Structure 1
């Protein structure tokens, strides 16, 4: 606990690993008055639930596996069912590696089948999990009218995946996209932009996006998160100590390319996403997907996201940091 002088004092220990069967259901009534403000782009409001916690993999950029000591633990199926029954029509399942354990995933889907289908559901999974264990996807698809899978794509090449310790081949990425689309899932996800990227690396990413018709994606900058082994390994190279900039959208060490060029290419990458209102999906198409009362909030969100396509927004901030000698 934090004391009055701002310091932390221990208040006991938590058994490791914590048995999730001992975790109470979320007290959703405590946040009910704020629920309408919880959103994920055009889905408003959104409820989050957790069916499992942790990850067995060892991706270089991620803190989850280190925090949970490479373990995955599951909530009891009856608890998950009760939690989903209390949630609304738009549900984001926050597990880091959904569908881990095909048998358990299928059993959970069977238990949820008696609940009303949701309007929208989003889960996060790995490409190799979907390729190696595709059977649960069939059982899960009917549980929501719209069902998106968020993949940690991370890189468009085998070399890029190896550098991130992803333990996954690019062929699995391609096959997972095909499986998800064939079964009627929407495909979304994220790629990581390495500050060491060359112009050729950016072009390879653009080509991959075009080839596989992927535009509902995000792009984050490779960032060593404090407390991870990656952060320790990069410690002497890091030029930023302002923790506000460890948000996956700032450079925290010098890129290979000049800063101006890096952000020019980074923003050009974002222009290939569905968020670009000058691209494939126009503002009026977004507007059709929300209720009239939600138009104002959607407009504010989309207006903010357009900064992702403006290199000067990033470059100006980098100049300020340079002037203050705080960083790059």
Structure 2
């Protein structure tokens, strides 16, 4: 059966879309699970023409990934284009947002929503369609019928992640040089575990995975790393160090089997780094280059408000451990809608005091599927999903909105445009440009993204354009 998989991309918006472009790993895995069929993958990152692609390939089924809330409208638009080009094509949607909010896809252009892990449901669905069987017998689907949406029942999660097929990266071969994380390019992603044992109220990961945490065996992880395309490696695991012994074994195998050294980036919690500095040193020895840590807040009361179950003290200790080893720290902070000018000042001075080189600031956003959404759903100032990008206020702000965005963008500018940091970064970027480590086109994207992040006018114009 001919199956086309499509990855939407935001068309408008602010800086993030210019600073990051990650391969559609979920679709690459689903594509691998459909190896018995004729599969193509279309990444709209390259401005692909949906209608032309459908008319050329003539797919009998089209799967669209909608993991992020901001992609909902793009997903529906793509589904509409597919149906217009080939009306009998079976269109299904999957991903985190789709699984947690299937009602958002109760639309004439969508036939079904895959709820949960797509690499198990999609093959059964396609086999059923090919055999002209009954999709209502395929667990893990929400089917759109004339009578309304029909849930076929919950599909059990995979018992072992070693059963997940390695991502078919040949499906994205023609896009490979367009994926990057900031200046990291070439760049590749790898998933080795699913779920998180913690219950932060702004996160839906633990709900998507039904409160469970599962991991691939170290042997499976190392074998997949062996065959990755060139580039820095980001482990997409929400908490790579959730099992410290497993992480240690992976590092041991990577070193012992003589796998070429790479630069690795992980996501981790500060309390784990503090309790196990030895694992950080072990990974540093084989190429650990960056760690994403959700600092979230600058005081203990703030940590409690988001149910982080961690401490500011741990954040500061972890920063010291990583800095001492020369490992980049990407520290993210949540800006509350009820921030006053004093709160913005406190956050800036805290970042400066700790000498955090690459902080990230996001606006508290009650994403559908989170506890936070249940708390704030009756207070939302907009239900336009394009604003749920972590860079817009979607609940009432204490300050008038123009002033709030002015304070928010000023925070970014004060951190990244301070003379010592700015000129040092500029010198480094120019050096990479001259030595071929960065293309002019890529540099222009990064500069545009950074400019947008620090422009209050861009936020206001963006919001007015979408009202």
Cα distance per residue 1:149-183 (max 9 Å; x no partner) = 11111111212111111111110010000111122
Shift of 1:242: 1.0
Q: Which residue of 2 aligns with 1:209?
A: 351
The answer to whether the aligner puts 1:92 opposite 2:234 as a matched pair is yes
Maintained 8 Å contact 2:331/2:356:
no
Greater shift in the superposed pair: 170-179 or 282-291: 282-291
SS at match of 2:91: coil
Maintained 8 Å contact 2:202/2:371:
no
Maintained 8 Å contact 1:153/1:189:
yes
Scaled by the length of structure 1, what TM-score is found?
0.90
Shift of 1:18: 4.5
How far apart, CA to CA, are the structure 1 residues paired with 2:200 and 2:425? Answer: 35
Maintained 8 Å contact 2:338/2:398:
yes
**Which blocks of at least 5 consecutive residues in structure 2 are unaligned?**
1-89, 93-107, 114-135, 141-154
How far apart, CA to CA, are the structure 1 residues paired with 2:418 and 2:349? Answer: 18
How far apart, CA to CA, are the structure 2 residues paired with 1:83 and 1:276? Answer: 41
Maintained 8 Å contact 1:275/1:305:
no
Q: Which residue of 1 aligns with 2:39?
A: none
How far apart, CA to CA, are the structure 2 residues paired with 1:5 and 1:264? Answer: 40
Maintained 8 Å contact 1:42/1:289:
no
How far apart, CA to CA, are the structure 2 residues paired with 1:98 and 1:275? Answer: 32
Greater shift in the superposed pair: 282-291 or 56-65: 282-291
Shift of 1:289: 2.9
Alignment CA distance shift 1:46-1:273 (3 Å): farther
Q: Which residue of 2 aligns with 1:63?
A: 204
Q: Which residue of 1 aligns with 2:253?
A: 111
Maintained 8 Å contact 2:331/2:360:
yes
How far apart, CA to CA, are the structure 1 residues paired with 2:342 and 2:305? Answer: 16
The answer to whether the aligner puts 1:296 opposite 2:441 as a matched pair is yes
The answer to whether the aligner puts 1:160 opposite 2:264 as a matched pair is no
The total of aligned residue pairs comes to: 320
**Which blocks of at least 5 consecutive residues in structure 1 are unaligned?**
none
Scaled by the length of structure 2, what TM-score is found?
0.65
* Alignment partner of 1:51 out of 192, 197, 211: 192
Maintained 8 Å contact 1:198/1:256:
yes
* Alignment partner of 1:2 out of 69, 91, 98: 91
Q: Which residue of 2 aligns with 1:197?
A: 339
SS at match of 1:91: strand
Maintained 8 Å contact 2:348/2:415:
no
Q: Which residue of 1 aligns with 2:144?
A: none
The answer to whether the aligner puts 1:306 opposite 2:306 as a matched pair is no
SS at match of 1:149: strand
Alignment CA distance shift 1:318-1:28 (3 Å): closer
SS at match of 2:377: helix
How far apart, CA to CA, are the structure 2 residues paired with 1:307 and 1:8? Answer: 37
The answer to whether the aligner puts 1:12 opposite 2:139 as a matched pair is yes
Shift of 1:319: 4.3
Q: Map of 1:1-328 to 2, 5 A cutoff? A: 2=91, 5-8=109-112, 11-13=138-140, 14-87=155-228, 88-113=230-255, 114-118=258-262, 120-144=263-287, 147-274=289-416, 279-290=422-433, 291-292=435-436, 294-320=439-465, 324=467
